Amino acid sequence: MKTNGWWGALAVCAIVVAAPAAARAQGSGPAWTEQLEARGITSSANATGMWIGNVAGGLEKGGVYNTLGVFSAEADLEKFTGVWKGATAGVDLYWIRGKSASWYFVGDALTVSNLDGYDSIRLYQAWLQQDFWEGRVSLRAGSLAADEEFTGTDGGGLFSNGAFGWTAGVGANIVNGGPIYYSPAPGARIAVHPSESWTLQAALYDGDSFDSPDGDPKVNQHGMHFSMSSSQGTFSIAELSHGWKGEGGAAPMPGTAKLGVWRHSADFTDNWADANGTSFALTGLDPALHHGNRGWYGSLEQRVWAEKGSEDQGFTAWLRVAGAPSNRSAVEWCTDAGFNWAGLIPGRDGDVFGVGVATAYVSRDAQRAQLDAWTRDGESGVLPDFERVVETAYQYRVGEHWSVSPGLQWVQHPGMTSEVANAWVPLLRVSFE
């Protein structure tokens, strides 16, 4: 899109964010918002804009602007109705603008911009939640995004590459990436909190959030095309997490461990074998069909150094690993790791510096099939292998409600192949909240 379109979108979103805060600061908050809050209805808005470009390697040089505007509202239904105890409801509206740097310039598979999405104004999440037993159990249903509650790490949230959000160990191996940004799906989630430090949650979603086996985003471009059928299958995921505060020393040393499993019930073709268990590239038969795909992931985050007397300043490291069967998955293994340093520069306690490394490995069975095809044809070539991204970012807190984050990504083997030159991708991210 044109530069002036990007600035216009960002300006409108920034006004939506800043105006209510400015009014409250002057003591002139609108009466209608105060009345809504008294009835249990709250709202928020935020806007993020980013320039991201490729300056070397990849497909070609060039840059794009991405913007995301978000408006969210939530209602405490007990306050609103006076009788419905333990119930809340929420809705999000998204405004997405901008071309894809991955598609036009880098050629990578992991997606260099986590704002990358189909240009649209869309209904995002819309849900109803009921809590039971003083909040120890909650049930949520509606249009839901799995990456809002599953697989993520706090440390990965600093970075702009999509590999540090919803892990490719899941997204690359299910239909259209799963019910995540920018296209949630109808579903239901249950969460159980047996204690303050333990959480067990599980969810079931429609198997194709695009409602298009070809991945056409126009079918569900406004987030209001709800079609469920057995041909799409279902996506289910469960996660156990344990958190600790690490108290008792000069400063808290919190950490979190997660372990999750997932399954998609659609049919998936084998990467190497035909129905007889031999190479379809050599026999010429159709690949074998598998009913469903599955996998697992685990992560560990730990603050390893803390500034004395500080609640949130210090050095935190994380590691995440995901795996899936080689015979039906595009990505067999996926890892990401890194660190965040909050308050690295004296006097800049609100700033965060971080470095992350993520790698996705092509299925070994898919590699075997390619080698067999070359043997059959008497040819040779470059074997698809992996894609790796190294990203460094610095979040500079300009004020209470906005930040500026320059960053740089190095993408090795864009598109999982050494045929494409390694890419250098600088970026500048601006966020209002």
CATH number at residue 353: 2.40.160.180
Under a CB-based contact definition with an 8 Å cutoff, are residues 33 and 88 in contact?
no
How many Cβ atoms are within 10 Å of 279's Cβ, its own excluded?
21
Domain of 344? Answer: 3-432
Q: Taking 50 as the threshold, does the pLDDT of residue 340 lie above it?
A: yes
- How many domains is the chain partitioned into structurally? 1
Lowest mean pLDDT among 14-18, 173-177, 393-397: 14-18
Q: Check residue 23 and give its pLDDT.
A: 47
Rounded Cα distance between 102 and 263, Å, is 28
Q: 19: pLDDT confidence band, cut at 50, 70 and 90? A: very low
pLDDT, average across residues 305-331: 92
Is the per-residue pLDDT at 4 higher than 60?
Answer: no
pLDDT of residue 275: 96
Residue 310 pLDDT grade (very low, low, confident, very high; cuts 50, 70, 90): confident
pLDDT digits (tens, 9 = 90+) for 243-255: 999 876 667 899 9
Residues 319 and 281 sit within 8 Å (Cβ to Cβ): no
Render 104-155 in DSSP notation, one character per residue: III--SS-S-TT---SEEEEEEEEEEEEETTTTEEEEEEEE-GGGTSS--TG
Residues in the chain: 433
User: pLDDT > 70: what percent of the chain?
Assistant: 92
For residues 191 and 133, the answer to whether their CB atoms sit within 8 Å is no
Q: State the pLDDT at residue 30.
A: 61
The answer, yes or no, to whether residue 25 has pLDDT greater than 60, is: no
Query: Is the pLDDT score of 166 beyond 70?
Result: yes
Residue 341 pLDDT more than 80? yes
Stretch 42-55: mean pLDDT: 96
**Structure token digits, residue 24:** 């409250």
Q: Which amino acid is at 361?
A: Y
Give the tens place of pLDDT for each residue, 357-395. Answer: 999 999 999 999 999 999 999 999 999 999 999 999 999
pLDDT of residue 1: 39
* Inter-residue contact 300 to 336 (CB < 8 Å): no
CA 286 to chain centre: 34
Q: What is the pLDDT of residue 56?
A: 97
Phi/psi for 16 (5° steps) reads -60, -40
Query: For 17, which DSSP code?
Result: H
Least trusted range by pLDDT, from 156-165, 279-288, 303-312: 303-312
Residue 177: CB atoms within 10 A of its CB come to 21
The HSE-up count of residue 66 (CA atoms within 13 Å, CB side) is 24
For residue 311, the model assigns a pLDDT of 76
pLDDT of residue 29: 54
What confidence category does residue 15 fall into, taking pLDDT thresholds of 50, 70 and 90? very low
Q: How far apart are CA 83 and CA 197, in angstroms?
A: 31
**pLDDT average, residue stretch 47-67:** 97
**CA nearest 290: which of 317, 314, 270, 320?**
270
Examine the pLDDT at 75 and tell me if it is beyond 50.
yes
83-138 pLDDT per residue, tens: 999 999 999 999 999 999 999 999 999 999 999 999 999 999 999 999 999 999 99
**Cα within 13 Å of Cα(98), Cβ side:** 29
**395 with 48: CB under 8 angstroms?**
no
State the average pLDDT for the chain.
91
Least confident of 20-24, 114-118, 216-220, 403-407: 20-24
Can you tell me the distance from the alpha carbon of 322 to that of 150, in angstroms, rounded to the nearest whole number? 13
For 291, the enclosing helix (H) or strand (E) is: strand 287-306
**Model confidence at 26: pLDDT above 60:** no
